[in-house]
């Protein structure tokens, strides 16, 4: 099975769990006999390509005089939207990501319809422009490669998937890692919602990362239930360096960690309120909030208001070995997400021998047995769970031992079996049309 796959990021250049999931998925698909051509807007040259052939969209030229291209572009005018769609970043990050040097601007072309175009590969001011160009490049790539199925990850790549589908006639699989409802609650960006729904409607089959997400896709987007399949995420097994695993704490207190984007979706305010309740009972605990996002400044102010700043620390965004070191220093990990389609971070924590508490409103809660599950809003219940893990060694040891065994069994090669079944179903569906 040859797969033309579209994604916006690929390790080591990532901003969250999507790129990590794509990497593990391609390795799992390789073990199932799939050959994957993975298209990214911008490749840097240091990506691991042992399981995938990476295609750099910035290297792909388009023939603006080609008749097929001209016909296709007639349907792309509605994609020319001057909008800054950056739902996760705080002001400082946005300024850093969206600013371009004179050299970068010179490399980029004035029009997405130019023969060559240099993608930034970022989430800045030119995001919609880049999504448009990415779709045009997808059409060109689809006319050059031999493949059996198209796989598009999240809304940034759905127009690209549709373009490849129209050019090739091959089936399209849309993969839903998160929806606009997860990211913003009910305050959805109508532009993103429309792109998501267009992609799902055009897809022959839709993959949701959890039953929770599948329900949202069916109820909020009106997608026919019989074409939406749940395939839970997994985690890529990696060997941790001894220097990381043996990281020593510089403080004597227990450490409770939140790691993720500091946004509405992740429920950071509930973590802070929980910390306040714990510290009223036990001052020998430190709380870490690792990440960045549009709620960061608000969370810092709340910590100050509660007068717990001497026991509460903000690290900023962490990745790579810094994440592993953070887990090595942690005694408990908490994910109080308001709406989490899946949630890979608890798996990473459990793999590093850290007991976890996750919200019942997360997809990962569907597959984990050895994790404490609470409602995201239940601050008292979360505080009791943390207290128990910090003060009862037998409870902690049980969750550590069986939790690690459980995570080690959640392999991408198993998820890839289900994805391959979806591919075959999509191919058969297209043949029947």
Q: What pLDDT, on the 0 to 100 scale, is given for residue 188?
A: 86
Cα→Cα distances 200→78, 103, 179, 206, Å = 18, 38, 11, 7
> What average pLDDT does the structure give for the chain?
85
The model's confidence at residue 187, banded by pLDDT at 50, 70 and 90, is confident
Q: Tens of pLDDT along 192-246?
A: 999 999 999 999 999 999 999 999 999 999 999 999 999 999 987 777 766 666 7
Same fold, 2-236+412-432 and 242-408: yes
Cα→Cα distances 192→96, 195, 363, Å = 23, 5, 22
427 vs 9, higher pLDDT: 427
Residue 427: is its pLDDT beyond 70?
yes
Tell me whether the omega of the peptide bond preceding residue 12 falls within 30 degrees of 0, making it cis. Answer: yes
Q: End-to-end distance of the chain based on CA atoms, in angstroms?
A: 20
**Structure tokens, 160:** 């690209």
Cβ(167)–Cβ(72) under 8 Å?
A: yes
219 vs 51, higher pLDDT: 219
Domain positions in the chain: 2-236+412-432, 242-408
381 vs 241, higher pLDDT: 381
User: ∠335-400-367 over CA atoms, to 5°?
Assistant: 55
Give the separation between CA 40 and CA 9, rounded to whole angstroms: 6
CATH numeric code, 242-408: 3.40.50.2000
Identify any residues that bridge with 258 across adjacent strands, giving them in sequence order: 289
Which CATH architecture describes the domain 2-236+412-432?
Answer: 3-Layer(aba) Sandwich (3.40)
Cα→Cα distances 258→267, 330, 360, 430, Å = 10, 10, 16, 44
Identify any residues that bridge with 286 across adjacent strands, giving them in sequence order: 255
- The structure tokens 């990990």 sit at 333
Residue 109: is its pLDDT beyond 50?
no
- The structure tokens 């979706």 sit at 265
Residues in the chain, total: 433
Give the separation between CA 208 and CA 229, rounded to whole angstroms: 6
Question: How much is the average pLDDT of 359-364?
Answer: 96
369 vs 69, higher pLDDT: 369
Q: Which residues contact 144 (CB under 8 A, 6 or more apart)?
A: none
Give the separation between CA 420 and CA 30, rounded to whole angstroms: 11
Give the separation between CA 108 and CA 118, rounded to whole angstroms: 5
- The structure tokens 């572009």 sit at 73
37 vs 10, higher pLDDT: 37
Least confident of 90-104, 236-250, 322-336: 90-104
Q: Which helix (H) or strand (E) holds 208?
A: strand 205-208
SS3 content of the chain, % helix, strand, coil (to 5): 50, 15, 35
Residue 290: is its pLDDT beyond 70?
yes
**Helix residue ranges per DSSP H, 82-229:** 91-98, 102-107, 127-142, 158-168, 180-184, 190-202, 211-221
């Amino acid at each position: 099975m040859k797969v033309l796959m579209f994604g916006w990021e690929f390790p080591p250049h990532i901003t969250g769990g999507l790129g990590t999931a794509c990497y593990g998925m391609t390795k799992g698909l390789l073990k199932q006999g799939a050959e994957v051509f993975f298209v990214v807007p911008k490749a840097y040259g240091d990506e691991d390509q042992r399981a995938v052939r990476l295609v750099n969209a910035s290297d792909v030229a388009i023939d603006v005089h080609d008749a097929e291209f001209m016909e296709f572009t007639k349907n792309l005018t509605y994609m020319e939207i001057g909008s800054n769609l950056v739902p996760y970043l705080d002001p400082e990050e946005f300024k850093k990501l969206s600013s371009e040097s004179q050299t970068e601007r010179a490399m980029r072309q004035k029009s997405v319809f130019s023969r060559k175009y240099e993608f930034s590969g970022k989430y800045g001011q030119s995001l919609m422009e880049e999504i448009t160009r990415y779709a045009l490049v997808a059409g060109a790539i689809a006319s050059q490669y031999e493949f059996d199925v198209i796989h598009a990850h999240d809304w940034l790549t759905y127009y690209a998937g549709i373009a490849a589908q129209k050019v090739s006639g091959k089936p399209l699989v849309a993969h839903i890692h998160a929806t606009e409802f997860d990211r913003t609650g009910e305050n959805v960006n109508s532009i993103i919602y429309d792109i998501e729904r267009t992609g799902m409607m055009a897809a022959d089959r839709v993959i949701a990362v959890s039953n929770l997400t599948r329900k949202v896709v069916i109820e909020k987007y009106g997608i026919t239930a019989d074409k939406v399949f749940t395939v839970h995420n997994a985690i890529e097994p990696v060997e941790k360096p001894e220097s990381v695993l043996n990281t020593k704490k510089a403080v004597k207190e227990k450490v409770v960690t939140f790691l993720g984007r500091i946004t509405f979706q992740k429920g950071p305010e509930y973590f802070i309120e929980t910390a306040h309740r714990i510290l009223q009972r036990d001052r020998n605990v430190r709380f870490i909030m690792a990440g960045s996002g549009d709620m960061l400044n608000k969370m810092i102010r709340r910590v100050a208001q509660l007068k717990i700043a001497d026991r509460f620390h903000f690290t900023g965004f962490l990745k790579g070995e810094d994440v592993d070191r953070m887990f090595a220093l942690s005694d408990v990990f908490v994910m109080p997400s308001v709406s989490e389609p899946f949630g890979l971070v608890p798996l990473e924590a459990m793999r590093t021998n850290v007991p976890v508490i996750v919200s019942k409103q997360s997809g990962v809660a569907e597959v984990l047995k050895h994790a404490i599950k609470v409602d995201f809003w239940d601050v008292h219940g979360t505080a009791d769970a943390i207290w128990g893990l910090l003060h009862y060694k037998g409870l902690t040891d049980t969750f550590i031992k069986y939790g690690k065994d459980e995570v080690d069994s959640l392999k991408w090669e198993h998820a890839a079996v289900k994805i391959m079944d979806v591919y075959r179903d999509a191919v058969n569906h297209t043949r029947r049309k």
